[in-house]
């Protein structure tokens, strides 16, 4: 790895420190003799870090969201600027996050999806450009990830059948947004860095154009944000009635299915509970 970094950055690192990594690679803080500091991610196997780099570049070029600058990306290695911060989100940091995400969600496209497929948690995330959000969420999020979990023997067939029943009636539960909105796509605590009451960066994206409610729902699944965030967000982009009691659960089926596919049976029960609450 050191030789690869030396080749990319043109000098031998002064120090390399292991950081907490994600699902698909080891992450290091690399300090160079000239004082520059980089975050370097190295793939464990079958690298897809070129896609992660491409997503960060897309956000940098198409939004004002603070993300690491990408210096080099290929399947096996990703070199980025190092962003100072922690995942401890104060009240002020949550309010700042609300402002940043409301701004991100104001960026629109003609269709849902993206010109290229992306990743979530290292899993393939298809993004065929689609004119209907309900169709896109049904086919390329719920059913796609459910089928992937079944193929991996992680999701029981009887749960998949109930998911398919919901998919047929999806228009009874969610609505079409005014326009497709750009989202980060993987909005949970460790993907947000903050310092001194300000967000310093968002990392590990899973970008595409979507209904922004799917992003907001995901942020509640593991307690990333609380009422402080939603109060500030709603001041900028008001939420339609029914989000918290119903649509949040529908949208959270997707990240839960991602977790079922990645980690197995421990996440099947929450999927079961949501389907039961929705009447399936």
String of DSSP letters for the chain: -HHHHHHHHSS--SEEEEE---SSEEEEEEE-TTS-EEEEEEESSS--HHHHHHHHHHHHHH-----PPEEEEETTEEEEE----BS---HHHHHHHHHHHHHHHT-B-SSBB-SS-EEETTEEE----BS-HHHHHIIIIIIHHHHHHHHTT-S-HHHHHHHHHHHHTGGGT----SS-EEE-S--SGGGEEEETTEEEEE-S---EEE-HHHHHHHHHHTTS--HHHHHHHHHHSPPPTTIIIIIHHHHHHHHHHHHHHHH-GGGHHHHHHHHHHTT-
Length of the chain: 280
Find all residues with CB under 8 Å of 188, minimum gap 6, and list them.
218, 219, 221, 222, 224
**174, 263, 189, 258: which is closest to 222 by C-alpha?**
189
What is the reported pLDDT for 1?
A: 78
The two tokens of residue 7 are 């080749």
**104, 69, 108: which is closest to 187 by C-alpha?**
104
Give all domains of the chain, ordered by start, each with its CATH number: 2-81 (3.30.200.20), 91-277 (3.90.1200.10)
The two tokens of residue 47 are 């690298």
What is the reported pLDDT for 21?
A: 65
Cα 40 to the center of its chain, rounded Å? 19
Side by side, which strands form the sheet with 77-81? 15-19, 25-31, 37-43, 77-81, 70-74
Grouped pLDDT means (10 residues each) for the chain, 280 residues: 87 90 81 94 89 98 98 96 94 98 98 97 96 98 98 97 98 97 95 96 97 98 95 98 97 98 95 98
pTM greater than the 0.75 cutoff:
yes
Residue 110: burial class (beta carbons within 10 Å; 0-12, 13-18, 19+): exposed
Helix 227-236 and helix 91-105, axial crossing angle in degrees, nearest 10: 40
The two tokens of residue 253 are 């089926």
What is the reported pLDDT for 45?
A: 79
């Amino acid at each position: 790895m050191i030789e690869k970094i030396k080749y990319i950055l043109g000098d031998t690192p002064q120090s390399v420190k292991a950081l907490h990594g994600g699902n698909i690679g080891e992450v290091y803080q690399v300090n160079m003799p000239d004082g520059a500091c980089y975050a370097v991610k190295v793939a464990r196997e079958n690298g897809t870090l070129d896609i992660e780099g491409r997503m960060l570049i897309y956000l940098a070029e198409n939004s004002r969201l603070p993300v690491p600058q990408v210096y080099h990306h290929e399947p096996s290695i990703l070199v980025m600027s190092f962003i100072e911060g922690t995942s401890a989100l104060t009240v002020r940091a949550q309010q700042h996050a609300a402002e940043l995400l409301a701004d991100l969600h104001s960026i629109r496209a003609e269709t849902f999806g993206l010109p290229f497929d992306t990743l979530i948690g290292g899993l393939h995330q298809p993004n065929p450009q689609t004119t209907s959000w309900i169709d896109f969420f049904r086919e390329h999020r719920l059913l796609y990830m459910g089928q992937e979990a079944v193929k991996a023997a992680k999701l029981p067939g009887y749960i998949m059948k109930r998911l398919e029943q919901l998919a047929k009636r999806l228009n009874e539960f969610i609505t079409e947004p005014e326009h497709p909105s750009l989202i980060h796509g993987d909005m949970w605590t460790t993907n947000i860095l903050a310092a001194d009451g300000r967000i310093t960066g968002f990392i590990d994206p899973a970008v595409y154009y979507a209904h922004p409610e799917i992003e907001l729902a995901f942020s509640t699944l593991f307690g990333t944000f609380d009422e402080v965030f939603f109060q500030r967000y709603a001041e900028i982009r008001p939420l339609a009635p029914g989000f918290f009691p119903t649509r949040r659960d529908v949208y959270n089926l997707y990240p839960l299915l991602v977790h079922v596919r990645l980690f197995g049976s421990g996440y099947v029960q929450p999927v079961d509970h949501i389907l039961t609450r929705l009447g399936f």
